[in-house]
Amino acid sequence: METFLELLTGNTLTRLVFFPALACLPLLFFSKSGEAKGAKIYALVASLIELAFGLQFLAAHLASDGTFPLVRDGKLPWIPTYGIHYDLAMDGISMPLAILGIFLVPIVLLGSWKGIAKSWPAFGASMLMLTTGVLGALFAYDLFLFYIFWEVMLIPMYLLIGVWGGERRIYAAVKFFLYTMAGSLLMLIAILWMGWTLRALNGGVWSFAYEDMLRLDFPVHQQLWLFAAFALTFAIKVPMFPFHTWLPDAHVEAPTGGSVILAGILLKLGTYGFLRFALPLFPKAAEEAQPVLVGLALIGIVYGALVAWVQEDMKKLVAYSSIAHLGFVMLGLLAIDQIAWEGALLQMVNHGLSTGALFLLVGMLYDRRHTKKFSEFGGLAAVIPVFAFFLIFSTLASVGLPALNGFVGEFLILAGTYRALGWPAVVATSGVVLAAIYLLKMVQLTLWGPITKEENRNLPDLSLRELAALVPLCVFMLWIGVAPEAFLKPSRAALDSTLTAYRAAVERPAVAEATLRPAEATLRPAPDQLSRQEEGR
Amino acid sequence: MNRSDLISLLPEMILSGAAIVILLLDAIAPKLRRSFLALAILATGAATWGAWVAWSRVPGGFGAAALSWNGLLETSGVTYALSLVILLATGLCLLASQGYLWREGILTGEYHALLLWCATGLLLMLRGTELLTIFLALELFSFCLYSLAAYHRRIAVASEAAIKYFLMGAFVSSFILYGLALTYGATGTTRLAEVAAKLAASEQVPVLASLGLLLLVAGFAFKMSIVPFHAWSPDTYQGAPSPFVAFLSVAPKVASALVLFRLLEAVVQGGSAVTVHKWSVIVATLAVLSMLVGNFLALAQRDIKRMLAYSGIAHMGYLLLALVVLDRGSLLPVIVYLLAYVLMNAGAFTVVSMLYGKPGEQHLISDLSGYGYRYPLLGACLGICMLSLAGIPPTVGFIGKYLVFLNAVGDGLVGLAVLGVMASLVGVFYYLRILYVLYMKAEEKQPEGLLLDVWGRTAAVVAALGTLALGIWPTGLLQWLLEATTAK
C-alpha cells in the first residue's frame, strides 16, 4: 500500500488536493504590507502549477475515445478505529467540476489583481485553501472525509467575504456561514446514523465508505429523514428557493474574486451533492420528494429571473440570475433522465464559465468607477469597446444563444425534462425567455444609449491582464458551444451507471428494516475492478 | 503500605514535593523567583513520567485497572490518560502565567506551589474509588483554586470573584459531604464498587441512597459548571487572573467528569430499567439545559472571559450527552472531548491573558479589533482555538463533537443529538465573532502595557498546534484510548 507521501508526490488526486494547501504555507511569511506584488505573483504561479497538475492528471487518464474512467488514489486508513479511510476518487461526474475549479483559480487571481487592496498574502492563501476544500469534497469517497472537506471550504469563503467584502460584508459572511453550517450539521447526524446502521449490519465493523453506504437499503420512512438532511444541506448550497436568501447577500458583498469562485464552483457542490449523494443514496425518498423539489426548482427559475429583472445593481442582477440558472441545473437533475443529467452537468460548467465571466466584468467596471448601479452607466460601448465585446459575449452565452455554451446545456436539460416530466419543461422555458430579458436589459443599460455621466467618458479599456483573465473563459464558452460532444462524453458513462443504479434501486421492493446488500449486487464496479492509479510511479 | 503503593502515588508525590521545594526556595532565595517556572515545568514533566511509571506497573496491560492503598486509588489506562490531560493543562497554565505574573509584579513562589498542589488534588480525585478520598482530594484542590482565584489581590474584581467562588464552593462541599453521609447511611460503605453492589442487590434503590447520590452528582456538576449549578463560573472567570482561568476552566472539569462517570456507573450498573431510565433523564435534562443556557447566554456577552465561561457551560452540556446512556463506551468520547476542551480553552485563555493588559477592567471582545494583523501569531492561535471550540474540522474540537454525537446517535438519542448540533450552531455564531473582530474590524485601541513573553507564546502555539494536529491525525490517540477504555 502506498503511503500518503508517495501519493502526494505522484501524479495523483492527492497531489491535486493538497498542493494548494501546502502552497499556502510560504504565504504566511510574506509580510502583511509592501510585498503584495510578491504574494500576487506567488499565488498566481502556485495556481498555474496546480492547473498544470490538473491537466497532467487529465492527460494521463482521459481515454483516447474521450471517455473518462473512475480513477482512484490508493485507499489509506485514516481513523481505523472508526473505519474512516482516506479515499479519493475522480470519475466523469467530478472531473469537469474539478477541472473547472482548478481552471478558475488563476483567472480569479488575475481578476482580483487591483480590486483587492489589502493583505494579499492572506487573500491568496484563502483562495488556495478554498481550492483544497473544493477538490477534496469533489473527490472524497468516504462520507466522513467528504464532511471534513465540506466544512473546510467554509472558513476561507467566510474570510473572503468578511475581510475583503463590501459594506455589509460581516452580515453577509456570517449569514453564509450559518446557513451552510445549519444544513451540514444535520447531514452530519444523518451520516452518523448511517454509520451505526452500517456497523450493525456489517458485523460490528465500522465503515463510512461511499460504496458501502450505497449498499444500504433503508425503509422509506427512514430514507425520507436521511434524504431530508442531505437534501437540505445541498439545497442551501445550491441554493434552491426558499433557502437562497444568503446568496444575493454573499455575492453582492463578496469581492469580485470571491463572487467568481462562489458562483463558479462552490454552488456547484450543492448540485454535485445531489447527484453524488442525495439521489443515489436515498432513491426511494428522492422519488417521493421529486414533485416538491421540481416545484421548488421551477419557482427558483422563475422567481430568480423576475427578481433579477428588477435589480438596479449589476452584481445583484447577476447574483439572482445564478439562482435561476441553478434552478435549471436542479430541474435537470430531478428529471432523472440521461439527457437531462448530461445537460445539467454541462450546465454546471457553463454557469461557472459565463457567470464567472460576468462577475469578473462587473468587478472590472467596479474597479474603474467604484459603483455597480445601472444609473451610473450608459453608452459605455463607445468608450470601452473591448469591454463591451466581452460583456455582450458572456451575456449571450448566459442567455443561451446557439453556438455558445449556455444553449447546449439548457437545450439538453429542457429536452430531457420534457421527455421525463413533461409540463415542467414548459414552465422552465419561460425562464429562458426571462433570462434574455433581464440580461439584455443589463447590456442595454450599461453599453447602449447616450453617455449620461461625464466620468464615464475617459474610462480606460481592458488591460492585458484583464484580457488574460477573460479570454480563456470565452474560448471555452465558444468551444463548448460548437463542439459539446467532447465535453459531454467523459461524463456519459458515469452518469449512465449512476442512473441505472438509481432506477434499479427505485424498482427494488421496499424493505421493512434497514438491510445491507452484498457487495457484488451493486451496479457500480467493485473496488478491485476499478482502474487503479498507476501513473507517476 | 508497600512499594507498589508508593509507586502508584509517584506523580502526586512528585508534584506536591516540588511544590514544597518551591515554597521553601521562595522563602530562602527570593531572587530565584523567575526560575520557578522552570522548576514547576520540570515537576510537571516528572509527574508525567511518574504517571507513566505508575501505569506501566499495572499488571494485565491495556485496559486493566489496579487498585492501590488498600483499594482507595485506581490506576488504569483511563486514569493515566486523564492524568496526562490534567498535567497538560497544568503545564499550559504555568507557561501562560509567567508573563502575566511578571507584568503585574506578583511573581512569587506561592502561585506555582498552589498550582502544583491543585494538580495533586485533581490527580488524586480522579483516581479515587472511595468517596472520602474523593472528598479530601476535592477539598485539597478546591482550597488551592480559591486562593489562586484571589491571587491578584490588589484588584477588587479578583477578590470578589474568589469570594463568590469560595462561598459557593463551600456550600457545595457541604452538599457533597451530606450526600456522602446519606449514601453511607443507606449502603454502609463509602467505596463506590461496594455501593454499586449494594444498590444492585437491593430491589429498589433506597430513597436515602438516591438522595445522597443526587447531592453528590449536584456537587460535581457544580465543579463542572453544569446548569443549574453554573452561576459561579462567569463571575469567577471574569475576575480571576486570566492565565489561571486557563487552568480553572478546564482541569477541575476533567477530574470531576470522571468522578461523575463513576457515580453514575455505581447507580446504573446492575440497576433496574426504571432506575437507569430515571438517571438518564436527569443527565439528559442537565445536558440540554447546559447546551441551551450556555450557548444562548454566551451569545449576549461582550466580555470575552464571560463568553468563554458560558461557552464552557455549553461544552460540558455536549460532554454530558455521552453520559446519558452510560456504558464503558461513553468513556472514549468523554476523554477525547476533555482533551480537546483543555487544548482549545486553555489556548484561548492564554492568548486572552496576553492580549489584555489591564486585569482589573472588562475584557471587551471589541478590544481585540484588528489584532489579528498586529499580532499575527497570537491572533492565529486564538482563531484556531475558536474554530475548534466551534467544532469545525480539521480541529480536535470537531473530533470531540463527532465522537460525542456519534455515541449519542448510537445510543438512539437522535433527538438529543439534533438538539446538540443546533445548539452548537448558536455557538458558531459567537465564536465567529472573535474571528470577525480579529480580522475584519479596523483596529480601535492601541495596546498598552502588554507583555508578550516567549513562554506565553509557547503555550498558545502548543495549544493551537495540538488542536490542529490531533484534529488532522487523531488515529493513534483514538486507537490507544479505545484499547484503554474497552478492555477490562
Angle (nearest 5°) at CA A490 between A485 and A493: 110
Q: Judge: A163–B439 Cβ closer than 8 Å, yes or no.
A: yes
Hey, how many other C-beta atoms are within 10 angstroms of the C-beta on B236?
Answer: 28
- Determine contact: B474 vs chain A, CB below 8 A: yes
Q: In this structure, what are the phi and psi dihedrals at residue A71, rounded to the nearest 5 degrees?
A: -115, 130
pLDDT at A82: 87
CA dist list (Å): B128 to B11, B172, B189: 14, 19, 15
On the question of a cis peptide bond just before residue A242, with omega within 30 degrees of 0, the verdict is: yes
d(CA A495, CA A93) in angstroms, rounded, equals: 7
Q: Which residue in the set A81, A147, A148 is minimally distant from B479, CB to CB?
A: A81
* Residue whose grid cell is 527570593: B30
For residue B418, the chain A residues in CB contact (below 8 A) are 186, 189
pLDDT score for B487: 60
B465 in reach of chain A (CB within 8 A)? no
Give dist(CA B339, CA B346) in Å, integer.
10
Where does residue B225 fall: left (phi above 0), alpha (psi -120 to 50 degrees), or beta otherwise?
left
pLDDT at A32: 55
Q: What are phi and psi of A440, to 5 degrees?
A: -70, -30
Considering only the beta carbons, identify the residue of A77, A162, A196 that sits closest to B410.
A196
User: Are A189 and B409 within 8 A, CB to CB?
Assistant: yes
Residue A31 gets which letter from DSSP?
Answer: -
Partners of residue A189 in chain B, C-beta under 8 Å: 405, 409, 414, 417-418, 421
Q: Does pLDDT of B13 surpass 90?
A: yes
Rounded to a whole number of angstroms, the distance from the CA of B418 to the nearest CA of chain A is: 7
* Residue in B closest to A196 by C-alpha: B410
* Residues B414, A178: C-beta atoms closer than 8 Å: no
What span, in angstroms and rounded, lies between the C-alpha atoms of A193 and A197? 6
Q: What is the ipTM of this complex?
A: 0.90
Top-confidence residue, B63 or A347: A347
Q: Residues of A with CB below 8 A from B479's CB?
A: 80-81
pLDDT given at position B166: 92
Chain B residues close to A158, C-beta within 8 Å: 432, 435
CB contact under 8 A, A158 and B406: no
Average pLDDT, integer, range B217-226: 92
Distance from C-alpha of A517 to C-alpha of A201, rounded to nearest angstrom: 10
Nearest CA to CA, how far is A181 from chain B (Å)?
Answer: 7
* Residue of B141, B318, B345 whose CA lies nearest to B237: B345
Residues of A in contact with B414 (CB under 8 A): 189, 193
How close A440 comes to chain B (CA, Å)? Answer: 37
Bond preceding residue B11 cis, omega within 30 of 0:
no
How far lies B192's CA from each of A298, B267, B323, B365, B414, in Å?
Answer: 64, 9, 18, 45, 31
Q: Is the distance from CB of B431 to CB of B389 less than 8 angstroms?
A: yes
The model's pLDDT over A22-31, given as tens digits with 9 standing for 90+, comes to: 988 888 777 6
Q: What is the longest distance spanned by two Cα atoms in chain A? A: 76
CB–CB contact B422 A185 (8 Å): yes
| Three-state helix/strand/coil letters over A96-140 | HHHHHHHHHHHHHHHHCCCCCCCCHHHHHHHHHHHHHHHHHHHHE
Residue B169, pLDDT above cutoff 80:
yes
> In chain B, whose CA is at the least distance from the CA of A180?
B425
Provide DSSP, B419-460: HHHHHHHHHHHHHHHHHHHHHHS---S---S----HHHHHHH
What is the rounded CA–CA span in Å between residue A135 and residue A51? Answer: 12
Q: What is the pLDDT of residue A528?
A: 42
What's the pLDDT tens digit per position in A42-54? 889 999 999 999 9
Which residues in chain A are contacts of B428 at CB distance < 8 A?
Answer: 177-178, 181
| Neighbouring residues of A370: CB distance < 8 A, sequence distance ≥ 6 | none
pLDDT at position A475:
92
Interface test mutation site (partner B, options A185, A191, A193, A232, max chain B beta carbons within 10 A): A185
- pLDDT at B306 (0 to 100): 92
Q: Is B415 on the interface with A (CB under 8 A)?
A: no
Q: What is the pLDDT of residue A531?
A: 43
Burial degree of B59 (CB within 10 A; 0-12, 13-18, 19+): exposed
Helix (H) or strand (E) holding B74: strand B73-76
Please state the length of chain B.
Answer: 488
User: DSSP character for A73?
Assistant: P
Q: Is B188 helix (H, G, I), strand (E, B) or coil?
A: coil
**In angstroms, what CA-CA distances link B449 with A350, B320, B359?**
56, 41, 11
H helix and E strand count, chain B: 21, 2
The confidence score (pLDDT) of residue A535 equals: 36
Name chain B contacts of A196, Cβ cutoff 8 Å. Answer: 406, 409-410
pLDDT, residue A522, reads 45
Closest CA to A449 of A382, A387, A364: A382
Length of chain A as a residue count: 537
For residues B342-370, average pLDDT: 89
Give the chain B residue nearest A76 (alpha carbons).
B475
Contact A32 B373 (CB under 8 A): yes
Which pLDDT band holds residue B418 (cuts at 50, 70, 90)?
Answer: very high
By the 8 A CB rule, do B440 and A163 touch?
A: yes
Q: Cβ–Cβ of A82/B429 closer than 8 Å?
A: no
A147 contacts in chain B (CB < 8 Å): 393
Residue type, B322: A
Tell me the nearest-neighbour CA distance from B403 into chain A, angstroms.
Answer: 10
Do the chains contact at A170 and B440, CB–CB below 8 Å? yes
d(CA A513, CA A382): 69
Looking up cell 449514601 gives B183
Average pLDDT of span A432-455: 85
Q: Does residue A449 or residue A88 have the better pLDDT?
A: A88
Say which DSSP state B359 is in. Answer: T
DSSP characters over B350-391: HHHHHH---TTS--BGGGGTTHHHHSHHHHHHHHHHHHHHHT
The candidate with the shortest Cα–Cα distance to B149, out of B237, B71, B232, B67, is B237
CB contact (8 A) between residue B429 and residue A81: no
User: Does B480 contact A at CB distance below 8 Å?
Assistant: no
**CB–CB contact B409 A192 (8 Å):** yes
Q: Please say whether the beta carbons of A400 and A410 come within 8 A.
A: yes
For chains A and B, CB pairs below 8 A equal 81
Statement: residue A33 has pLDDT above 60: no
Test mutation, A4, A126, A189, A199, chain B, max B CBs within 10 A: A189
Q: What is the overall mean pLDDT for chain B?
A: 90
φ, ψ dihedrals at A206, nearest 5°:
-70, 145
| Contact residues for B188 (Cβ-Cβ < 8 A; gap 6+) | B198
Q: What residues 293-352 of chain B have any CB closer than 8 A to a CB of chain A?
A: none
Is B422 touching A (CB cutoff 8 A)? Answer: yes
Give B324 or A3, the one with higher predicted confidence. Answer: B324
Amino acid letter for position B255:
A
* Nearest CB neighbour to B393, from listed A152, A192, A196: A152
- Among residues B233, B318, B221, which one has the least CA distance to residue B263? B221
Distance (Å) of CA B246 to CA B44, B96, B251, B469: 16, 8, 9, 20
Average of per-residue pLDDT across B90-116: 91
Q: How confident is the model at residue B254 (pLDDT cuts 50, 70, 90)?
A: very high
Separation CA B149–CA B161 (nearest Å): 7
The residue whose grid cell reads 473512475 is A70
CB-based contact B429 A174, cutoff 8 Å = yes
Can you tell me which residue has the cell 479515587?
Answer: B128
User: In this model, does residue B65 exceed pLDDT 90?
Assistant: no
Q: Which of A93, A95, A80, A83 is nearest to A16 (CA)?
A: A95
- Residue A537: pLDDT band (50, 70, 90) is very low
Strands A216-217 and A515-516, sheet pairing: antiparallel
Place of cell 451575456: A395
Q: Work out the pLDDT band at B485, boundaries 50, 70, 90.
A: confident
Query: What is the residue type of B321?
Result: L
Q: Tell me: the pLDDT tens digits for A500-533?
A: 989 888 888 888 888 888 875 444 444 444 444 3
Which residue among B417, B425, B436 sits closest to A170, beta carbon to beta carbon?
A: B436
> Is the bond into B394 cis (omega within 30 degrees of 0)?
yes
The structure's pTM equals: 0.91
Name beta bridge partners: B66: B75
pLDDT at A35: 62
Q: Find out whether the peptide bond into A219 is cis, omega within 30 degrees of 0.
A: no
Any CB–CB contact under 8 A between B421 and chain A?
yes
The pairing of strands A71-72 and A84-86 is unpaired
pLDDT score of B382 more than 90 = yes
Torsion angles phi and psi, residue A76, rounded to 5? -115, 140
DSSP 8-state assignment for residue A511 = P
What's the CA gap between B477 and A171, in Å, rounded?
39
Search chain B and give the residue with CA nearest A181.
B425
Grid cell locating A374: 445601472
At residue A31, the pLDDT reads 62
What is residue A534's predicted lDDT score, i.e. its pLDDT?
37
Amino acid at B478: L
Average pLDDT over residues A320-340: 91
| Cα A251 to Cα A258: distance, rounded to the nearest angstrom | 8
Nearest chain B residue (CA) to A188: B402
Chain B interface, best mutation among A76, A79, A164, by max B CB count within 10 A: A79
Distance CA B394, CA B384 (A): 10
The rounded distance, in Å, linking the Cα atoms of A316 and A307 is 9
Q: Tens of pLDDT along B24-64?
A: 999 898 888 888 999 999 999 999 999 999 888 888 777 78
A93: helix, coil or strand?
coil
Mean pLDDT, rounded, for A98-110: 91
Which 3 state secondary structure label does DSSP give B12? Answer: helix
Nearest CA to A488 out of A402, A417, A411, A393 is that of A411
Contact A174 B402 (CB under 8 A): no
- Please state, in angstroms and rounded to a whole number, the distance separating the CA atoms of residues B414 and A55: 45
- CB–CB contact A79 B392 (8 Å): no
Angle, helices B304-324 vs B232-239, to 10°: value is 140
Q: Quote the cell numbers at residue A222.
A: 427512514
Residues B380-386 have a mean pLDDT of 93
CB distance A308 to A317 below 8 Å: yes
Nearest CA in chain A to B332: A81
Q: Write the pLDDT tens digit of every residue in B421-455.
A: 999 999 999 999 998 898 888 888 788 778 888 99
Burial zone of A259 (CB within 10 Å; 0-12 exposed, 13-18 middle, 19+ buried): buried
Rounded Cα distance, B174 and B172, in Å:
5
CB contact under 8 A, B432 and A174: yes
Render pLDDT for B115-164 as a digit per residue (tens, 0 to 9): 999 999 999 999 999 999 999 999 999 999 999 998 888 888 888 889 99
Q: By percentage, how much of chain A surpasses pLDDT 90? A: 30
Instruction: Please say whether the beta carbons of B337 and B85 come within 8 A.
Output: no
Q: Indicate the residue of B394, B410, B421 with minimum beta-carbon distance to A188.
A: B421
Identify which has the larger pLDDT, A527 or B223: B223
